[in-house]
Amino acid sequence: MLKLHRSQQTKKLNKMNYYYYYLIIGFLLFSLSCKPQANGNHLSHNRPTMEALIKNLEDSKNNQIMVIAHRGIWNNAPENSLQAIQNSIEMGVDIVEIDIRKTKDGQLVLMHDQSIDRTTNGKGNIKDWTLEDLKTLYLVDSFGSVTVHKIPTLEEALLLSKDKILINLDKSYNYIDKCYEVMNKTGTARQVVIKGEKTRSQVESEYGQYLDKIYFMPIVQLPNKNAKRIIDNYLKHRVPIAFEIVIRRDPAGVIDNFDEIREKGANIWVNALSKKHNAAHDDEKAAQDLTIYDWYIENNINMIQTNQPELLINYLRGKGLHW
């Protein structure tokens, strides 16, 4: 009787163990299904179509704040690499900002500095290297380690981005004609924003034939006693897709006109990168206190370039201000 009793108890315990085993397995499978499927720290979210991104870009009165990844997302990849662009696509960033330089043989590549010393395992200036020779080098990550990634051409970057993400070409003003050739070849002209620190008359004089074919964004530095005049001249004669406003200080109160600028058809782009860009409302402070980003919302800024896209996207989504 005692043996039978123990046997029944054992069977009962085994049944309970199996029950808890399957319960735990089910919970783990459910948890995994809820996790982001993209690389590492990327967000899981339905990405808007390219048409939706373009419509949002063209509507300066939109209520969705656009997030721009500075040189791509490069915490898990070198800056200005194809992987940094892919990371931006997977995270749900609206625009990826990349830097353009021209090689010795006239090819456009992605590189922030004039020199390749900081970001590759080579030495010298981009203008002294041919594309073929540059392709023998490897990009270096933010820790200074040589990676498997190569220097991308603009064409490679645009093909990767095609129909997936908007692109901002920095340091590209002197190559607008060459950039347009690549944009036209890859069928990505509607996805690209080119910018430059130029007045309307300068841009029209130098690249007038392209201005109806591309999105152009003037850069305005503050403080600048001529800032309002430069902005008003654009708004009166050729409304740009946006103004990039760099705000070290704003004694003239240009910020107070942001709502009016948006009403007239231009978006407002401000960089969260460091305190010299945004009257000290920067990513570093936001990492400690997310309400720093409220300054952008309160001042009618609807395009924010950041080194912390995941942080910013999550914060904006919590307020219903991002897809």
φ, ψ at 30 (rounded to 5°): -65, -40
User: Shortest CA distance to 276 belongs to which of 287, 263, 285, 268?
Assistant: 285
The larger pLDDT score, comparing residue 310 to residue 20, is at 310
Q: For residue range 95-140, what is the model confidence (pLDDT) as tens digits? A: 999 999 999 999 999 999 999 999 999 999 999 999 999 999 999 9
Which residues, in sequence order, are bridge partners of residue 176?
none
Helix axes 82-91, 309-318, angle to 10 degrees: 10
Q: For residue range 256-274, what is the model confidence (pLDDT) as tens digits? A: 999 999 999 999 999 999 9
- Written out in words, the top-level CATH class of the domain with range 50-318 is alpha beta
pLDDT exceeds cutoff 60 at 185: yes
- Determine the average pLDDT of the residues in 231-245: 98
pTM assigned to the model: 0.86
The tokens for 41 are: 């720290």
Proportion of the chain above pLDDT 90, given as a percent: 85
Which residues, in sequence order, are bridge partners of residue 216?
194
pLDDT exceeds cutoff 60 at 243: yes
Which residues, in sequence order, are bridge partners of residue 269?
244, 303
Q: What is the pLDDT of residue 45?
A: 60
> What's the pLDDT band for 43 if we cut at 50, 70, 90?
low
